[in-house]
Chains A and B, each alone.
Chain A
Amino acid sequence: AQSVTQPDIHITVSEGASLELRCNYSYGATPYLFWYVQSPGQGLQLLLKYFSGDTLVQGIKGFEAEFKRSQSSFNLRKPSVHWSDAAEYFCAVGANQAGTALIFGKGTTLSVSS
């Protein structure tokens, strides 16, 4: 069965430091992978997505993610974190070939310290 694992429930990073959020997936075919961010009281915002091609994907707000098929991973990175990045981050995988219905990981809460 398809699944998404985000091993880190909560991460605290100092402002200006680099960030990496881990995501591992289990999927029987070519995955459609997504990272979403949810700020307190806000809806979900798409950060970036991977369907095919270049395995390093650039997103909004300075985020990037790298797809590694051999490790079944799609980790999210940012070189320098800002206080406004504090939020809940969800990794998701497309549950069907069209990449529409999504299976989400449990999320990682990011706190940013000054």
Chain B
Amino acid sequence: EPEVTQTPSHQVTQMGQEVILRCVPISNHLYFYWYRQILGQKVEFLVSFYNNEISEKSEIFDDQFSVERPDGSNFTLKIRSTKLEDSAMYFCASSEIRDYLSSYEQYFGPGTRLTVT
């Protein structure tokens, strides 16, 4: 069964450093998403991406964050200058299509645990 994969599973970085989290969505999916979950808190939407453009982003997704689809398979989340409060699990998700009816389910990866020290 196809699945979303994410690398690395755990990333430790120092405050102020740049990190890139990588995701390989399911191959025939067209929409891609990043969510994050701070320890003990709820899963929060960060950004959605379609056709090489950001479709929507949350207030959390500020100028420190960027997303890219550098090739036909990878989808990345970059944090330019990490802060302590960026420590969280970051989940990538993909779906076949997203329309107004939101009729397609999202498939999530296992997550990358980011620890900023």
Q: Do A and B bind each other?
A: no
